[in-house]
Chains A and B, each alone.
Chain A
């Protein structure tokens, strides 16, 4: 187990292993997202109250889920880097930040577009929306802090600490709909309970959520590979990759 852990921790083995994984992950992401989007747009039923605007759910909910999962992954990578000093963890942490920021942006924008016909407003300073905006700033903070610090070591440590401190925002986002009176409806989707919507709605939603996960990992791996090429450009094996 530990040997495997260390092997995957080396940039070179990560590059070689991800080589085999990437086409499958990318294909799964593309397929699931197309199927899910067509299903959600054309075949899922309109909501009895919201009408067709409910179709925005099929992108808003997965984007929001991935925005939060992505942050957790980033903070975990940061913790691994702080404790074990694994170089790959630092690279992984750095590569989540722009991706996570873009998905948080997506969650906010699609939520805003969904809010207009449903609540009658684009934006509301309520707990769920504000804490998600804070999540976006945390991601952007990690990106900015990284580029502001010159030395890779200290930049890695500082961003890892920022990412870890920001984890406190995640339960706030999650429970904001229960703790405060908000416009945002409580979660209608959970791992442990039966969904509060008919199967013809939660099935395409599930397809989209899995598709977004595959997409997230595809892009994350691509970014990590790009960063590995940059950092290891002096090594024999990267020159071999470039030459072939």
Chain B
């Protein structure tokens, strides 16, 4: 551990704002990258299930 305290870790001797914002943006971009296709897959599969449900006539 390179930091004495939590406050020390946050401030990073003046560079905290830069380091933490860079990591924050990275986390956001990575999470969106994973969640987006997962949601699309779920939607598409649910759509297919609905289309396959009995009594539902599919659009031509």
Contact = CB atoms under 8 A, between A and B. Distances in A.
Indicate whether A and B interact. Answer: yes
Interface of A: 33, 37, 41-46, 51-53, 55-56, 59-60, 63, 99, 102-103, 105-106, 109-110, 113-114, 116-117, 215, 218-219, 222-223, 225-226, 229-230, 233, 238-239, 241-243
B19 A44 contact: no
A242 B33 contact: no
Contacts of A117: 14-15, 18
Nearest to A229: B44
Given A102-B29, A242-B52, A219 B37 contact: yes
Contact residues of B: prevailing secondary structure: helix
Interface in B1-60: 1-3, 9, 12-16, 18-19, 21-23, 25-26, 29-30, 32-34, 37-38, 40-41, 44-46, 48-49, 52
A78 B51 CA distance: 33
A116 B18 contact: yes
The 7 A-B pairs at the shortest CB distance, nearest first, are namely A242-B48, A52-B12, A222-B37, A53-B15, A52-B15, A242-B45, A113-B22
B2 A226 contact: no
A43 B2 CA distance: 6
Given A41-B23, A42-B3, A110-B25, A56 B18 contact: yes
B31 to A, nearest CB: 11
A42 B26 contact: no
A52 B38 CA distance: 36
B9 A229 contact: no
Contact of B25 (A42, A46, A109): A109
A44 B25 contact: no
A226 B19 contact: no
Contacts of A46: 2, 13
A143 to B, nearest CB: 14
A44 B15 contact: no
Given A42-B3, A56-B18, A117-B18, A222 B25 contact: no
